[in-house]
Structure formats: C-alpha cells, structure tokens
Amino acid sequence: MREGSEIPVDVLAAHVGGQVIGDGSILIQRVAGLESARKGAITYVEDEKFFEAASQTKASCVLVPEGADVKAPCRLEVKKPKLAFALIAEILHPPKKPVPEIHSSSVIAADAKIGKDVLIGAFVCIGENSSVGDGTQIRAGAKIGDNVSVGRDCIIHPNVFLEDGVTIGDRVILHAGVVIGADGFGYVRDEHSHHKFPQIGTVVIEDDVELGANTCVDRGALGRTRIGRGTKIDNLVHVGHNCDIGERVVIAAQTGISGSVTIEDDCVIGGQVGFGDHIRVQSGAVIGSKAGILPGKIVRPGVWWGIPIQPLDEYKRLNAHIQRLPQVREEVKELRQRVKELESVLLENRKT
C-alpha cells in the first residue's frame, strides 16, 4: 500500500484484532502523536494518566486499552495499543522502495551473483564470489568483500563494510557505518611485544536483524560470531569476536561486549553496559544501563543493575544506603564529638 492511502477504521481493526467503538467507516490517512494528531490521523494511549488528554484529542480515532475510560468519539480497543499503533504505521507509512538499478560507478566482481530487483548505489564495491539476494538495496559507498552472502530484501545503508566471508540473512537492515567482520581484538604477548592471534573466523547475521549506525561486529578468531534472528542492536555497539547473541535480543547504544560472550534468547540489555569476556546471560535476563559485568559471570533471568551487577532489589537497597552517607557522616561526626566530651568529663572526675 502506498503512503497517502485512506483506510477505514474497521479495516484497521481487523488488521490488529481490535474492537471499534464508534463509526468504523471513518477514513484514516496517517499516524500521529496524541497532541499533534488532527482529522484523518489515528493516535494511541496506554497510560491511564493520559486518558483525559486522549478524550480531548482531535484525532479521528484513538487506540486504547480494552475497557479504558476514554471518551473519544471513535476508539479502537486493543490489548496492546502501542503494538497496534506500530502495526498500523507499517501499512499507512510503508518504506519507500527506490527503483532497482546498478549505478555506473559501482565496481562488481565478474563472478559476483546479483539477484533480481536489486539496487546498487554509487561507488559500491562487491568482491569476488559474493552474492546479493533479490530485492536487496546496497546504498552509496557500501563495500562488500569476497565470499560474502547477502540475503533477500536487505537494506545496506551508505558506507557499510562487510568484510570477507561473512553471511547476512534475509530482511537485515544495516545502518550507515556498520562494520561486520573486522578482526577481533586478540593478541598474545611475549617479553617484547604483542603478537596477533589468528582472526580467521566469520560472522553470521541471521534473518530480520537490525544493527544501528556505526555498530561493529568482529569476526570469530577461529570460529564464528553470531547475531540471532530478530535481534535489534542500537547505534555504537561493539560485539567482540566469538560472541553468540541469541534471537530477539535487544541491545541499546554504546554497549561494549567482550569476546566469547553468550547472550541467550529474549534478553534486554540497556545502554552503556560493559561486558567482560566469557560471560553467559541466560534467556529472559534484563540488564540495566551502565551496568558492569565481571568476566566469566553467569547472569540468571531477572532484572540486574549496577557495577558489578546485582539483582535490582539489592541494587536499590544499597543505593538507598549510599544516598544516606552524607547524613551518616554528620551523625558520626556528632557522635565523635560527644564521645570526646564524655571522655573529658570522665577524666575530670578521675582527677577529683
């Protein structure tokens, strides 16, 4: 569906499995925020504290939780309004697909295999024995090395580098400046210098992964580095060599992951988390931002925070104690003064 189309509310309701309260024939053209929405827009509300504002919105329709006390004339009740909003945005605002072409300035090896309906932008380089799947976009300045496999319907943004021998699945999105397959940070030291440990492994990026701008995924030293199906990684994240990141993992910006870390399926990692090497994060764990994890640790399911990480309840308790330290310091100073005064009185009593 092209952007600018009008879709009745009842059609959108069928798409997201919701119930229309009001006129289901109202036409929707776009999604919008609660305050900025106008006629022709659909918006959403989840938090009860915004129900009153949702009742006053000028949007043509509001996505609301089931049974919510919202008075808007046209409401679409769903279990998860934010999710329904995202699903509706996908059909009201589909991504623009450029016309497939191979730019005259691109350099493509004679034995490279290029699929159907592929876009190859200006100054793209594709190396020997590499392949690009149908419908994929390789945008300006991207570089694909030798023996690289890129799947179907991927979007490789400008200045992405895919080094030799890596594998990219279907529907993968790599934002500008991503580097896949650079050498891992591995050295062996003698008494005089550091000698590079072999970095001859590979990287496997599975289907439906999205990597943010300037994120780097190092190749395995002797094996592979893996990013599992459906995982989403933010900007400026570093994934070290031989890491194994599972499916549907979410990792926020500026996180640094040392070599040989395993993150199992469905974990959530906040921003600026620091991982030592050989850590295992078990499925379902949530690690809060700026946490630090010591090498070799096993992180069990649950919510973790702090440096070094600890269960969230324990972190909150210790943080509360730390917040009281200035008060405790003053109390200690007062107690020391009182003890000094008592010692003086006792000394005077002994003299008399």
Can you give the residue range of the structural domain that contains 135? Answer: 107-311
Distance CA 349, CA 296 (A): 61
Dump pLDDT digits (tens) for 13-49. Answer: 999 999 999 999 999 999 999 999 999 999 999 999 9
Q: Give the list of residues 6+ apart from residue 156 with CB closer than 8 angstroms, or none.
A: 136, 137, 138, 139, 142, 144, 150, 162, 174
344/326 same-domain check:
yes
Same domain, 171 and 295: yes
Is the C-alpha dihedral spanning 216, 221, 222, 225 positive or negative?
negative
Residue 347: predicted pLDDT: 83
CA distance 77 to 16: 10
The 3-state DSSP class for residue 21 equals strand
CA 70 to chain centre: 32
Residue with tokens 């700026």: 290
Last residue in a domain, options 66, 92, 118: 92
pTM of the model: 0.86
The reply to whether 284 and 155 lie within a common domain is yes
Residue type, 155: I
200 and 280 share one domain: yes
Q: How far apart are CA 274 and CA 328, in angstroms?
A: 31
* Confidence (pLDDT) at 4: 61
Please report which helix (H) or strand (E) contains residue 333, including its range. Answer: helix 325-351
Tens digits of residue pLDDT in 87-115? 999 999 988 888 999 999 999 999 999 99
**pLDDT at residue number 218:** 98
Q: What pLDDT, on the 0 to 100 scale, is given for residue 268?
A: 98
Beta-bridged to residue 311, according to DSSP, are: 304
* Residue 1 is assigned to a structural domain of this protein: no
Residue 3's pLDDT is 56
Do 207 and 231 lie in one domain? The reply is: yes
Query: In this predicted structure, what is the pLDDT of residue 221?
Result: 95
Tens of pLDDT, residue by residue over 294-309, are 999 999 999 999 999 9
Smallest CA-to-CA distance from 184 within 234, 211, 145, 223 is with: 223
Say if residue 34 is in the same domain as residue 156: no
Residue that finishes a domain, picked among 33, 66, 92: 92
Instruction: Write out residues in the chain with pLDDT < 70, as ranges.
Output: 1-4, 352
Q: How many structural domains are present in the chain?
A: 3
Q: What is the pLDDT of residues 232-244, one digit of tens each?
A: 999 999 999 999 9
Q: Which residues are catalytic?
A: 241
* Torsional class of 83: left (φ above 0), alpha (ψ -120 to 50), beta (otherwise): alpha
**CATH number assigned to the domain comprising residue 163:** 2.160.10.10
